[in-house]
């Protein structure tokens, strides 16, 4: 969901560009993303920790290559064309015991 308003906010992903573009997900969280970072979603999966706000960016080809589960890999390969920023409840920074490998992603996503 792409929306425009007149308020300039720092981009949540690179944190140095100011942008009026923000994405809002069905679950209600809202993030500002600049044009450069929206461009980056074409080639990278981007995860945002909803707990601490940490951003994780991984090249799509690398993520898909590293998924061993066939069904999951298929699902990720299908979404490779979409520009998505996905929300995760917790990241390795919040919970160091958690293995973050791109597979613990919960189905909350903002989509352009």
Least Å distance between CB 61 and Zn ion?
21
Identify the residue among 91, 102, 105, 110 touching Zn ion (CB under 5 A): 91
- Report which of 73, 105, 111 is spatially closest to residue 91, judged by C-alpha positions: 105
Strands 44-49 and 55-59: antiparallel
- Which of 92, 5, 78, 80 is closest to 43 using CA atoms? 80
Which one, 35 or 69, has the nearer CB to Zn ion?
Answer: 35
With binding defined as CB under 5 A, does residue 38 bind Zn ion? Answer: no
Pairing relation of β-strands 30-32 and 18-24? antiparallel
Nearer to Zn ion, 84 or 91 (CB): 91
Chain residues in the site for Zn ion (CB under 5 A): 11, 13-14, 17, 34, 37, 49, 51-52, 54, 91, 93-94
């Amino acid at each position: 969901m792409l929306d425009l308003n007149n308020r300039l906010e720092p981009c949540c992903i690179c944190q140095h560009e100011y942008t009026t573009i923000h994405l809002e997900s069905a679950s209600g969280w809202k993030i500002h993303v600049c044009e450069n970072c929206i461009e980056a979603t074409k080639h990278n999966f981007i995860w945002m920790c909803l707990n601490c706000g940490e951003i994780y960016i991984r090249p799509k080809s690398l993520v898909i290559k590293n998924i061993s589960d066939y069904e999951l890999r298929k699902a990720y390969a299908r979404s490779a064309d979409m520009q998505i920023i996905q929300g995760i409840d917790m990241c390795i920074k919040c919970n160091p015991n958690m293995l973050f490998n791109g597979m613990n992603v919960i189905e909350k996503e903002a989509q352009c």
